[in-house]
């Protein structure tokens, strides 16, 4: 009898060991690359953060599946990095990771072969792996395309292929689209595969505002939506996201002030086409963001004052509060009448907090951003006082650790050391960040403020 029990236990344990999901390597980044090169495999990198909900769902629901492990374990060296810790910080920065989870497929030389991300159902996730495997065996990897481009190759077919290849790894194509556009025929612009690759969403995608390709898309957006099989307004939404990314990574980074009016005109045009509200506020916000990013204090101050006083504070705040109240009551109905069970909703308390203030969350964050811009660059006590008033107002509408941290920093810059430390301590107790790295940062900032030091990174 004991023998049978022992055999049954061994069978159970063996079955568990065999029915395993992705096995992640725990070596250093250098060791993982070396292993990948030796075994002629790609490195699959799960880039996550401790606070990312979709990251946790993937780790709990998809990574442990046997069918997923059966594909990932023999084909990849699997690796996990926290984008906010250790080597993960530099790796995420190197590959331009801006959303979580992001999945990177990298060869043994550390070159990006494929990129995807987000919460994926198992079937979709396995399809992403199949694409990465296919890209690995492509006889012309991205590095060869880049070498040819650097050598001066510029014919139409090459540029179209290069754009398509870059789209696979989600590299920005804004300037390349401007370069190729004069060469494109109507047949090219009606090529579903090519245009689908151009409009494959990724946070890194760029479009040049006011450029030749931009103007073509604005004039033909409805036809392009139909061509690539997307909902009405899809390509305009991507154009909006891509021009903003270009604004951040090129116009601000390279201090192209002559492009600021072009960007503002594009933003206004796209918001009107998409029938979005608060266009004037958005445009004023871009002006403030530009002068913050270029560290132009002289122009930042009037831009921030204009953004808040003539933009945000001209909005109907009471209407926003009323709309939030109505939306919150509607959201709660199925829980109050017993049709849904709140005990089965993950992070119920946090969800309630945001759901009760959807419009005012956005309003408060915008006020906080204006206050933070002043904190970063301004020392004038009068202007700092105005920024404190903005932070205080934002906090009154939606209490949040980021706003309280900015509030604390501004108090410190006006000489109120004890009050600053107390406010930063309050920020560290926010339920949104309990037990994660944000809380650790805020607690470290408390100690800096007690010493009279103004933190460089507030939250």
Please give the positions annotated as active site. Answer: 52, 55
* Largest interatomic CA distance in the chain: 86
Please spell the DSSP secondary structure of 202-221, one letter per residue.
Answer: -TT----TTSHHHHHHHHHH
101 cis-preceded (ω within 30 degrees of 0): yes
Residues whose CB falls within 8 Å of the CB of residue 29, separated by 6 or more in sequence, listed in order: 79, 81, 87, 91
The rounded distance, in Å, linking the Cα atoms of 311 and 94 is 37
The rounded distance, in Å, linking the Cα atoms of 395 and 299 is 26
Question: Phi, psi at residue 429, to the nearest 5°?
Answer: -95, 5
Q: Is 46 exposed, middle or buried (0-12, 13-18, 19+ CB in 10 A)?
A: buried
Please name the helix (run of DSSP H) or strand (run of DSSP E) that holds residue 158, with its range, or none: helix 156-168
For residue 347, the 8-state DSSP code is: T
User: CA nearest 100: which of 142, 133, 61, 59?
Assistant: 59
- The region that residue 232 occupies, defined by phi over 0 for left and psi between -120 and 50 for alpha, beta otherwise, is beta
Residues whose CB falls within 8 Å of the CB of residue 406, separated by 6 or more in sequence, listed in order: 368, 371, 372, 375, 391, 458, 459
**Strand order through the sheet with 112-117:** 24-25, 76-82, 42-48, 102-106, 112-117
Chain position carrying tokens 């204009």: 306
CA distances for 140 relative to 133, 134, 162, 289, angstroms: 14, 12, 11, 40
Cα angle, residue 456 at apex, residues 453 and 459 outer, rounded to 5°: 110
Tell me the torsion sign for CA atoms 125, 131, 136, 137.
positive
């Amino acid at each position: 009898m004991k023998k049978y029990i022992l055999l049954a236990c061994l069978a159970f344990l063996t079955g568990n060991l065999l029915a395993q999901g992705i096995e992640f390597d725990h070596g250093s980044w250098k060791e993982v690359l070396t292993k990948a090169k030796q075994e002629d495999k790609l490195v699959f990198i799960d880039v996550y953060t401790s606070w990312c909900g979709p990251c946790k769902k993937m780790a709990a629901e998809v990574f442990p599946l046997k069918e997923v492990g059966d594909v990932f374990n023999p084909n990849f060296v699997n690796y996990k990095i926290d984008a906010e810790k250790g080597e993960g910080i530099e790796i995420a920065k190197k590959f331009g990771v801006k959303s979580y989870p992001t999945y990177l497929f990298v060869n043994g030389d550390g070159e990006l072969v494929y990129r995807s991300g987000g919460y994926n159902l198992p079937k979709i996730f396995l399809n992403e792996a199949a694409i990465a495997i296919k890209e690995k065996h492509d006889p012309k990897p991205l590095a060869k395309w880049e070498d040819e481009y650097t050598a001066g190759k510029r014919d139409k077919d090459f540029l179209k292929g290069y754009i398509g290849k870059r789209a696979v790894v989600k590299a920005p194509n804004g300037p390349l689209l401007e370069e190729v556009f004069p060469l494109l025929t109507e047949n090219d612009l009606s090529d579903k595969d090519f245009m689908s690759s151009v409009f494959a969403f990724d946070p890194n995608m760029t479009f040049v505002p006011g450029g030749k390709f931009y103007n073509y898309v604005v004039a033909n957006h409805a036809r392009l939506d139909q061509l690539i099989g997307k909902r009405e307004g899809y390509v305009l939404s991507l154009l909006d996201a891509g021009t903003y990314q270009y604004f951040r990574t090129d116009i601000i980074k390279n201090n192209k002030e002559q492009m600021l009016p072009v960007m503002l005109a594009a933003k206004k045009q796209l918001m009107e086409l998409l029938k979005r509200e608060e266009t004037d506020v958005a445009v004023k916000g871009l002006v403030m963001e530009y002068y913050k990013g270029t560290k132009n204090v002289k122009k930042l101050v009037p831009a921030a004052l204009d953004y808040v006083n003539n933009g945000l504070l001209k909005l109907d705040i009471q209407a926003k509060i009323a709309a939030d109240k109505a939306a919150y009551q509607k959201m709660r109905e199925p829980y109050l009448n017993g049709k849904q069970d709140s005990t089965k909703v993950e992070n119920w308390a946090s969800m309630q907090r945001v759901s009760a203030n959807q419009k005012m969350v956005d309003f408060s964050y915008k006020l906080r951003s204006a206050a933070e811009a002043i904190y970063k660059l301004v020392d004038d006590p009068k202007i700092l006082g105005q920024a404190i008033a903005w932070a205080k107002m934002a906090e009154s509408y939606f209490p949040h650790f980021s706003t309280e941290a900015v509030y604390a920093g501004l108090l410190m810059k006006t000489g109120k050391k004890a009050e600053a430390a107390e406010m930063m301590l309050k920020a560290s107790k926010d339920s949104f960040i309990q037990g994660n790295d944000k809380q650790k940062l805020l607690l470290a900032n408390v100690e800096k403020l007690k010493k009279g030091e103004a933190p460089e990174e507030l939250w």
